[in-house]
Chain A
Amino acid sequence: MKEQTIETLKRSGVDFDQTVKRFMGNTDLYAKFLAKFLDDDTFGKIAPAFEKDDFDEALATSHTLKGVSGNLGMTRLYKACSNTVALIRAGEKEKAKQSFAELQSAYDEIRSVIKETTEKGM
């Protein structure tokens, strides 16, 4: 991974050092999974679930995204997912729906950072 990529990731709040450790120091593997994250469709399932008031599905998907984003070191997205998961669990349906805005924003941010870096070549 390029110095520049690492800097960009760190600037956007990615917990780079801890995450690389999680990948046993293998930054190439980390880069591969960041790229894969762009194709992951978990995020895309959350909004439709909220629209259908299918809170079980909303919980399952935001929970999965929580795990993935956590392991990829995406601190902001991880926190947003955690918040949404907690609200659904607590039965705070309206607040859960409202929390999706932050989740969306965090997702968009990290997505554009990854896109930017992959286009330049990691």
Chain B
Amino acid sequence: MKDPRGTILIVDDQELNRILLRGIFEDSYELEEAVNGEEAMELVRKLHTKLAAVLLDIVMPKKDGYQVLKEIGAEGYFQEFPVVIITAENSTETELQAFDMGASEMISKPFAPHVVRRRVQNVIELNLHRLYQDDIIAEQSEKLRKSNDSMIDALTSIIEYRSLETGQHVRRIREFTHTLLERVAEDSPEYGLNEHKISLIVSASSMHDIGKVAIPDSILNKPGRLTQEEYEIMKTHSTKGCEMITRIKDNVSDKEYLDYAYNICRSHHERGDGRGYPDGLKGNEIPICAQVVGIADCYDALTNDRVYKKAIPPQVAQRMILNGECGAFSQRLLKNFVDVGEKFFGLSKEYSDKK
């Protein structure tokens, strides 16, 4: 790939100096020239995305080099390319001033070509590294996130196969969680749910039942009501799930994400009155992410066929949840759940198993 920053802008009022600099760089860079500060700024504004560096003289008519440095700084261009001062100056004071104003390097006239070339190239390379580091990091974390996502998809699909649920189940949980969570974020800013956190929680919600892989088929897919003993075993899926997450947690850098996944796995069956499991947490002791996934999970279980029951219409399911038939949720959360009721009904239709 040809570097998009392949142009050097030479700013000097003396033709001689421009020609000498041109001779040094013309075989490896595109070159542009300006004969004073005013021209220089015009070219900078026009070409800034292409500039590898600006070689700048200090003493010039119509805006001197200091003025150019000042404007480049004020307009934020130092973020993009370095400025190398090439000047007959050799007082420490001017040197300091130029550096203070943002110059990257200072070369005195008369200059030795190979020194100019080397120093300018060093400055350019350093800058490109800095610029592309951000791109590279962004690219890699995107790759990492994608591979995380596909790992999670793989994990959750294991559950789907095991518990004879369709792939739609996890997708619905994500959508319900997302919808309700956005409403909660709006209504309860105290949770500090920004876009980033919401997307992490939504993604982590797919893991809510991951612990079910540790539950025997005979219980997981039992077509009738579970005995008390079987139910106790079934309930262990929440702690089993978070144990699994704890095991990978040390080796995965995305701690924030796994914290959400942990809380969701562990606490999505907790209820506000302390009658949920596994810890009997009450009220706001239950992480908000787990409360939201808890409602989403109940709503989804009610509105779809399960091996042990038939689907219930969305409106009925909503009423049942509001009546506390799936356990106690916070009043505020239930209000939010009603606020987005229409959206839930829509999603039920859109992601129905029967399509």
A59 vs chain B, min Cβ distance (A): 8
Q: Are A67 and B109 in contact (CB-based, < 8 A)?
A: yes
Q: Are B109 and A70 in contact (CB-based, < 8 A)?
A: yes
Q: Is the interface of B mostly helix, strand, loop or mixed?
A: loop
Give chain A residues whose Cβ lies under 8 Å from the Cβ of B112. Answer: 18, 21-22
Q: Are B88 and A73 in contact (CB-based, < 8 A)?
A: no
Q: Are A23 and B109 in contact (CB-based, < 8 A)?
A: no
CA separation between A70 and B14, bound complex, in Å?
12
Give chain B residues whose Cβ lies under 8 Å from the Cβ of A33. Answer: 16, 19
Give chain B residues whose Cβ lies under 8 Å from the Cβ of A22. Answer: 20, 110-113
Closest to A61 in B: B59
CA separation between A87 and B110, bound complex, in Å?
20
| Binary contact readout B6-36 vs A (1 if CB under 8 angstroms, 0 otherwise) | 0000000111110110011000000000000
The yes or no answer to A89 lying at the interface (CB within 8 A) is yes
Q: Are A71 and B113 in contact (CB-based, < 8 A)?
A: no
Q: Are B14 and A64 in contact (CB-based, < 8 A)?
A: yes
CA separation between A24 and B113, bound complex, in Å?
8
B282 vs chain A, min Cβ distance (A): 77
A15 vs chain B, min Cβ distance (A): 8
B313 vs chain A, min Cβ distance (A): 84
Report if A89-B59 is in contact (Cβ < 8 Å); known contacts: A70-B110, A72-B16, A73-B110. no
The yes or no answer to A52 lying at the interface (CB within 8 A) is no
Q: Are A60 and B113 in contact (CB-based, < 8 A)?
A: no
| Binary contact readout B85-118 vs A (1 if CB under 8 angstroms, 0 otherwise) | 0011111000000000000000001111110000
Closest to B64 in A: A60
Give chain B residues whose Cβ lies under 8 Å from the Cβ of A63. Answer: 59, 88-89
The yes or no answer to A66 lying at the interface (CB within 8 A) is yes
B44 vs chain A, min Cβ distance (A): 22
Report if A66-B16 is in contact (Cβ < 8 Å); known contacts: A22-B110, A24-B24. no
A77 vs chain B, min Cβ distance (A): 11
The yes or no answer to A38 lying at the interface (CB within 8 A) is no
Q: Are B13 and A64 in contact (CB-based, < 8 A)?
A: yes
The yes or no answer to A68 lying at the interface (CB within 8 A) is yes
Among A23, A70, A81, point to the contact of B23 (Cβ < 8 A).
A23
Q: Are B110 and A71 in contact (CB-based, < 8 A)?
A: yes
The yes or no answer to A29 lying at the interface (CB within 8 A) is yes
The yes or no answer to A78 lying at the interface (CB within 8 A) is yes
The yes or no answer to A12 lying at the interface (CB within 8 A) is no
Give chain A residues whose Cβ lies under 8 Å from the Cβ of B89. Answer: 63
Which residues on A are within 8 Å of B, measured CB to CB? 18-19, 21-24, 26, 29, 33, 36, 60, 63-64, 66-68, 70-73, 78, 81-82, 85-86, 89
Give 25 CB contacts A-B under 8 Å.
A18-B112, A22-B112, A23-B20, A23-B23, A24-B24, A24-B113, A33-B16, A33-B19, A36-B16, A60-B59, A64-B13, A66-B88, A67-B17, A67-B57, A67-B87, A67-B110, A68-B14, A70-B88, A70-B109, A71-B20, A71-B111, A72-B16, A73-B110, A82-B90, A86-B91
Top 5 closest A-B pairs, CB basis? A70-B110, A67-B88, A66-B88, A67-B109, A24-B23
> Beyond A18-B112, A22-B113, A70-B88: 5 further Cβ-contacts under 8 Å?
A19-B110, A29-B19, A67-B14, A68-B17, A72-B110
